[in-house]
Structure 1
């Protein structure tokens, strides 16, 4: 084990340690400027997917709203509760500002990668769509890059489907044991059974479950935070000042000052919203939309929900309370969030947070499973392979819940995600000119007065697209 730990630590240092985060930030800024700040131009349209005014409907397909909620369920997880607390403890209140900043930049990266996933999606025999970075690499860059797509797919399975699902099971079981005294084996059994029910139902069951769980989860958590903010409304201006003052070094809350705030804010923000990491595009490609950019806008909104809304809720809960003391040694992670809630509204809040963690984690398990399934479908269509993957996922969730020490075996998750992100970013750089063409097509249709732009594959004959994935294309040209 020591030998493998050395290798994984080395890979982690080479990716997350010093290279990957600046790469993600610089590339996100470049995408934002080169696209003309597209995430801000289309910001108003993002809310259309919630109201249904900007959504295309087909009862046999995954809708844009369902794809949004599945991806939100994946992005929103332990990082929104424990990760924000860690960022504040290590980087001070200023880390929150830099989490906001990277989210606003990441919204563009999310839009670009989701647009490309939609552009190169394929229609399956059952009528569903599959896509994502692996297929974008093959159809966008060519068969010579198949090896790169396989590296991506293997890392996606190892990091999300296996490693992160073990941690999700561990998080839920730990919270249930600490707050309710429920033994880990019972939590693990319930999680495993629920996971089995979902993963054997396919993407439609995942989407339907997410359509119910995610609104309850998000609105419930946001509602609790708003209650706490209202109870402490007089302290809000001071908290906002602390965030900005610490972010720019006017007030040093922890050792490292502004540097610590930037480092922790960027790192935790990227880990939380996953923009540019190549995970969410796998879900984005399943949606039925009339134009690739429509789902790109939706996935950009997913980043906004994750960080600007839900991460901010956790930050205000912590910073408006008395449990957190800048620079002091004490509680950290989920315990800090939990104790802060109890400090605000009473002991019942720990049970509320346990339920929230359960919903957050279960939504992530569904999401992580689908990422693994989609990656596997790129490499094989063997039914037995999918059956084995499902059994492994159910077992991994149970193992992570009942044996907290066993999660150390899955320490390869972070370095695997680091490699995954590097591969995805390389592909995004090479495919970005194509993404700009598709964005410009969307813009030009809007400028011509078309309220819901329609993608026509025939207008892009040089691109390896699947015409059957775009049934709304003009019939005269789609048939040519």
Structure 2
């Protein structure tokens, strides 16, 4: 059943929707992800600012990177290469480049339709822009359920499986022992909430990412003379021109799209949940910043893993070495056995933040259709059970379950984005107009969008805070 659903979703629907809609968003927005690529970094000047009790734009970015960076970057890439050949990496790049535009729109729209909670915090995401943008609460509930199943259950099982198999290969730790430890740790910290997770993520994520990149640069530099050959292999395999890979172009595209989406989540509807929580002067500013996380995840980190594997010489067509074990063996073949330990530790840290991020997304989805305490407690127990279950399963079962729920979630979210595209385009033009007028940090004026179902409390609060900040600055100047 899982195989049949996966074949229908991935070999037919999602390849067309992900690449097709991504290209449409890219062209219709005049390549917004490239036009504002430089602004992604300049916006960081404002991204660290935040009001007490709120998340900064930078914290929201680091939290989404923490969720994206995990098993997909280390195990997912190796799975793509094993099943789709080196050409799968090319299609992962394509999905990421057009996915940057998709991520930009979904995160901007999530910011626009976010709601203010009684405690002053914000909440938003696909379910919210489906309800308030399309007026379809029932579909918002469906998306919330799929989000809960995909991240709270499916993806967490994949993450725990990856850690357990890595620890077993490196240190000989039984998989069930890793599962028990992960379950206990998750149970201890999921009561901390999004703000505690964000404080942890905005320190640990940059350290993890730069450490992994440094290792990759060393491995790549040690085999620099073979880099042109590896890129040639990737391109030939991507278009079915490499006879060594029996799956040909079809397998390369399917695995590239599937594992690319699993890794960078562009269009999946996960990042908007976090993007909506941040406090920014204009929704587009967060959309621009969030599209950078897709670039970091796939173009940088996934490429690092792919080059490590292909440059090491460990990978051979038809290899039965699965998932993270291939990456570990590739690093160990270049730097020695300590490289295997390094990958295990890096993966443990990556997965740790991703597990908590996934839990938060599931709880956020649950909160859309019920505020009662009992369902939340049941959800927490089920998360812990699925973390342990994933650690003792086989690779095929874990990925098949996650792929089905991920595919259905992506379809619903992409349909909603297509229907809300005109709103997103209108929002982008408002930002463009202010930028052309010389305003370095455009400000959202809800009066210009009074025909939409927005939460007045959100933007009234932001305006009051901006006016207060401007008043203080004027007083100091005097």
Q: 1:237 to 1:408 in 2, by over 3 A?
A: closer
1:52 Cα offset (Å): 3.3
Task: Assess if the C-alpha contact under 8 Å between 2:47 and 2:57 holds in 1.
Answer: no
Equivalent-residue separation in structure 1 for 2:402 and 2:3 (angstroms): 11
Task: Assess if the C-alpha contact under 8 Å between 2:162 and 2:323 holds in 1.
Answer: no
1:388 Cα offset (Å): 2.6
- Which among 357, 371, 376 is matched to residue 381 of structure 1? 371
Map of 1:311 onto structure 2: 302
Task: Assess if the C-alpha contact under 8 Å between 2:237 and 2:245 holds in 1.
Answer: no
Task: Assess if the C-alpha contact under 8 Å between 1:61 and 1:288 holds in 2.
Answer: yes
Q: Report matched runs for 1:45-194 at 5 Å.
A: 45-48=39-42, 51-142=44-135, 145-194=136-185
Map of 2:15 onto structure 1: 21
Equivalent-residue separation in structure 2 for 1:244 and 1:409 (angstroms): 30
Task: Assess if the C-alpha contact under 8 Å between 1:69 and 1:214 holds in 2.
Answer: yes
In the comparison of the two structures, how many residue pairs are matched? 466
Task: Assess if the C-alpha contact under 8 Å between 1:163 and 1:411 holds in 2.
Answer: no
SS at match of 1:47: helix
Map of 1:416 onto structure 2: 405
Per-residue Cα deviation, 1:86-114 (whole angstroms, up to 9, x for no partner): 22233333322221121100000000111
Per-residue Cα deviation, 1:145-177 (whole angstroms, up to 9, x for no partner): 111111111111112101221222222122112
Q: Report matched runs for 1:350-369 at 5 Å.
A: 350-369=340-359
Equivalent-residue separation in structure 2 for 1:184 and 1:71 (angstroms): 28
Residue 446 of structure 2 is aligned to residue 453 of structure 1: no
Q: 1:476 to 1:238 in 2, by over 3 A?
A: closer
RMSD: 2.3
Task: Assess if the C-alpha contact under 8 Å between 1:55 and 1:289 holds in 2.
Answer: no
- Which among 245, 254, 266 is matched to residue 254 of structure 1? 245
Per-residue Cα deviation, 1:51-83 (whole angstroms, up to 9, x for no partner): 535544223211111111111121122121122
Q: 1:64 to 1:253 in 2, by over 3 A?
A: farther
Q: 1:184 to 1:335 in 2, by over 3 A?
A: closer
Q: 1:197 to 1:448 in 2, by over 3 A?
A: farther
Q: TM-score, normalised by structure 2?
A: 0.92
Map of 2:228 onto structure 1: 237
Equivalent-residue separation in structure 2 for 1:152 and 1:456 (angstroms): 29
1:214 Cα offset (Å): 1.2
Equivalent-residue separation in structure 2 for 1:343 and 1:154 (angstroms): 43
Equivalent-residue separation in structure 1 for 2:246 and 2:403 (angstroms): 26
Q: 1:304 to 1:476 in 2, by over 3 A?
A: closer
Equivalent-residue separation in structure 2 for 1:98 and 1:20 (angstroms): 13
Equivalent-residue separation in structure 2 for 1:331 and 1:195 (angstroms): 29
Map of 2:423 onto structure 1: 434
1:133 Cα offset (Å): 0.4
**Unmatched runs of 5 consecutive residues or more in structure 2:** 468-478
Task: Assess if the C-alpha contact under 8 Å between 2:75 and 2:162 holds in 1.
Answer: no
Task: Assess if the C-alpha contact under 8 Å between 1:399 and 1:406 holds in 2.
Answer: no
User: Which has the larger displacement, 461-470 or 371-380?
Assistant: 461-470
Q: 1:252 to 1:59 in 2, by over 3 A?
A: farther
User: Which has the larger displacement, 106-115 or 249-258?
Assistant: 249-258
Q: 1:245 to 1:216 in 2, by over 3 A?
A: same
Q: 1:231 to 1:264 in 2, by over 3 A?
A: same
Equivalent-residue separation in structure 2 for 1:251 and 1:185 (angstroms): 40
- Which among 264, 278, 286 is matched to residue 273 of structure 1? 264
Equivalent-residue separation in structure 2 for 1:202 and 1:476 (angstroms): 27
Equivalent-residue separation in structure 1 for 2:52 and 2:39 (angstroms): 22
User: Which has the larger displacement, 262-271 or 341-350?
Assistant: 262-271
SS at match of 1:207: helix
User: Which has the larger displacement, 440-449 or 231-240?
Assistant: 231-240
Q: 1:270 to 1:399 in 2, by over 3 A?
A: closer
Equivalent-residue separation in structure 2 for 1:264 and 1:146 (angstroms): 33
1:9 Cα offset (Å): 4.1
Q: 1:417 to 1:91 in 2, by over 3 A?
A: closer
SS at match of 2:312: coil
User: Which has the larger displacement, 431-440 or 61-70?
Assistant: 61-70
Q: Report matched runs for 1:190-201 at 5 Å.
A: 190-201=181-192
Residue 284 of structure 2 is aligned to residue 290 of structure 1: no
Per-residue Cα deviation, 1:275-333 (whole angstroms, up to 9, x for no partner): 111111111111111111111111100100110000000011011111112x3444242
Map of 1:3 onto structure 2: none
Equivalent-residue separation in structure 2 for 1:417 and 1:138 (angstroms): 21
Equivalent-residue separation in structure 1 for 2:51 and 2:213 (angstroms): 30
User: Which has the larger displacement, 433-442 or 418-427?
Assistant: 418-427
- Which among 32, 56, 59 is matched to residue 38 of structure 1? 32
Equivalent-residue separation in structure 2 for 1:309 and 1:175 (angstroms): 22
SS at match of 2:420: helix
- Which among 334, 339, 345 is matched to residue 335 of structure 2? 345
1:12 Cα offset (Å): 2.9
